[in-house]
Amino acid sequence: MVQRISRAFKDISLSFDRHPITNDILNIKNEDAIKKAIRNIVQTIPSERFFNPIFGSDVKTSLFEFVDFGTASVLEEQILVAIENYEPRVDNLRVRVDPNADRNEFEIFVSYRIIGQEVPAQQFSFILEATR
């Protein structure tokens, strides 16, 4: 297996905010860039990207289901597969989905290691709201 050696990562901010002095679009770097990329993968619906129709995950279709542990298990698998398929900069990926039926939402916990960088394991969480 070939081990990738990463240096630094830089993506543009999808908010398209501008730097106050240079007036350039703001960049997000390294750990923040990967975190934002993972979240975008999860929240992108397949066929939403014109030139890459298979990119994304099917989590939006599962959000119409019940907010329970069965749906949480399905979401976990969908998120894992999507990140493994579309984010080559991470490994040792773990995903946990906690349903909160009272609020009609799922809390997503993601942890991973960035390949080729000597930084601690990364983790973050975000909320997906179920729609009925």
Domains of the chain, by residue range, sit at 10-129
Q: Rounded to the nearest 10 degrees, how much is the dihedral formed by the CA atoms of 14, 18, 23, 28?
A: -60
SS3 state at 85: helix
Do 95 and 79 touch, CB atoms closer than 8 A?
Answer: yes
- pLDDT above 60: residue 5: no
Q: Which residues pair with 98 in a beta bridge?
A: 107
What confidence category does residue 9 fall into, taking pLDDT thresholds of 50, 70 and 90? low
Q: According to the CATH classification, is domain 10-129 in 3.40.50.620?
A: no
The pTM score is: 0.79
What confidence category does residue 131 fall into, taking pLDDT thresholds of 50, 70 and 90? low
Distance between CA 36 and CA 116 in Å, rounded? 19
